[in-house]
Amino acid sequence: MSDLFSKFDPIIELRSELLESGVTDPFNLVMEKVESPTVAICNGRRTILLGTYNYMGMTFDPDVIAAGKKALDEFGSGTTGSRVLNGTYVGHRAVEQALKDFYAMDHAMVFSTGYQANLGVISTIAGKDDYIVLDIDSHASIYDGCALGNAQIVPFRHNDIEALEKRLKRIPEGAGKLVVLEGVYSMLGDIAPLKEMVAVSKANGAMVLVDEAHSMGFIGEHGRGVAEAQGIIDDVDFIIGTFSKSVGTVGGFCVSNHPKFEILRLVCRPYVFTASLPPSVVATAATSIRKLMDSADKRAHLWENSKRLHAGLRQLGFTLGTDEPQSAIIAVIMPDLETGAAMWEALLDEGLYVNLARPPATPAGMTLLRCSLCALHSEEQVGEILGMFAAAGRATGCID
Ligand SMILES: Cc1ncc(COP(=O)(O)O)c(C=O)c1O
C-alpha cells in the first residue's frame, strides 16, 4: 500500500527540524484565557494580542455579547440545517439586512465563513470556459474558489495595473471574465490600486469581485473598505467579506447590486450544502455591523495606532512590508524561518503575541512577523509593544 501521507514528508521534516531547535511551536499557541480584545493569558502570562485581526475590538462589546446570549436563549444553539431547508431564521435575514444597510447595496448573502463565501461565489459565477484574472498574491480561498469552478485561471503580478490589462486583452473575445482583487493584502498589509484596476477591468468587459476581508469596518468613510476609500464602490460587482475580523465573530458574506444576485441562493453549492450559522452568531454579527456604521472615532484611533507602530518599528531598524502604513496590518520582514521563529518566541516571552507567517501563505518565500492592530489598543499598549520589539529584536540579533 502506498502511503498517501508521503507527500507531506518535506513539511513534516521542516517542522521537526524547527521544533528540535527547542523553539516553541509558533502554530500551536493556546490562549488559556482571553480578557479583552487586546489581552489574553498565554503560558500563564499576560500577553498583548497583536495578531488577531480583531481590528475594531468588537469581540467583547457588551451589546454584541448581549445579542448573542439573547439569541441563544430564544433560538437555541444551532439551526441544524442548510439555509434552503430549516436553516433560515429571522436572525439570518436580519444580518443580511444589516449588511445591505452597511454597504448601501441591494443584496447580501451570508455564508458560514469568508472562505466559503469566496469558494461559493467565485466557483458559481465563473465556471468552465470562463476566465478568472486574479492577483498572484490572492488568498487561498480565492484560489480554491477558482479551482472548484474549473474556470481558466490567469494570474497577474501583484498590484500591477499594466499586467492586469495585458492579461485581460489576451482573453478570447466573448468569453466570460471575472477579475478578482483584494482591498488589503493580508500578508504585507498593502492596499490595491482598485480605482485603476476596476477601470481597466470594466474597459475590457470584465466583472469585478473585491475581497475586503481586512478593510471592512476600518478603511473608507463608512468602513466599507478600500473600494469606498478610492471612490469606486459602485463599480464593483461583488464585495466579499468576513465576520471573523472587524465584525468579531465567524461567518462570511457577499454583497452586490446585480439584479439576478438572489439566484445564487439556489445554485451556489457552498451555500446550499452546508448548515447555516448558529442564531447567536448571526445576532452578534448583526449588532456588531450596525455599531460599525457609527465608529468613526474608533477608525481614527486605529489609524493613529497603525501610524505609531509603523514609525516606531522603522525607527528601531526593522524592515517592514510597506514604506507607509496602509492598513491595520504591519508586516515585519524576517531574514529566514529560524530567525523568524526565534523572534516570535522572544516576543511571546516578552508578553506579545504576533503571527509568524511563512510560505505558501506569504509572497516571494518571505518569513514575516505579522502585526494586526486593534482600535482598542491604547497608546500605552502601543508603547509597550515597541519596547517588547526592541528587547526581542536585540536578544535575537534582528536589530542592533
Ligand atoms: C483575504 C481573505 N479572504 C477570506 C478569508 C477567509 O475568511 P474566514 O476566516 O471568514 O474564513 C481570509 C481569512 O484570513 C482572508 O484573509
Q: Which atom of ligand 1 is nearest to the CA of 118?
A: 4
- Quick check: CB of 276 below 6 Å from ligand 1? no
| Strand partners of residue 357 | 368
pLDDT tens digit sequence for 160-195: 999 999 999 999 999 999 999 999 999 999 999 999
- Quick check: CB of 212 below 6 Å from ligand 1? no
Tell me which of 9-18, 103-112, 169-178 is least confident.
9-18
3-state secondary structure of 378: coil
- Which parts of the chain fold into alpha helices (H)? 9-20, 62-75, 90-103, 114-125, 140-149, 161-170, 194-203, 226-229, 264-267, 269-272, 279-292, 296-316, 337-350, 379-396
Judged against a pLDDT cut of 90, whether residue 19 lies above it is answered with no
Q: Which atom of ligand 1 is nearest to the CA of 138?
A: 1
Q: Please give the angle made by the CA atoms of 196, 197 and 198, to the nearest 5 degrees.
A: 95
Read off the pLDDT of each residue in 32-38 and give the average, rounded to a whole number: 98
Probe target for ligand 1 pocket from 242, 249, 288, with the most ligand atoms within 8 Å of CB: 242
Probe target for ligand 1 pocket from 119, 141, 144, 216, with the most ligand atoms within 8 Å of CB: 141
- Quick check: CB of 355 below 6 Å from ligand 1? no
Closest CA to ligand 1's atom 10: 114
pLDDT of residue 399: 94
Cell numbers at 141, concatenated? 480561498
- Quick check: CB of 113 below 6 Å from ligand 1? yes
Residue that has been written with the C-alpha cell 527547542 in this structure: 22
pLDDT tens digit sequence for 245-272: 999 999 999 999 999 999 999 999 999 9
Q: Report whether 91 contacts 249 (CB < 8 A).
A: no
Closest CA to ligand 1's atom 3: 213
The rounded distance, in Å, linking the Cα atoms of 160 and 60 is 39
- Quick check: CB of 213 below 6 Å from ligand 1? yes
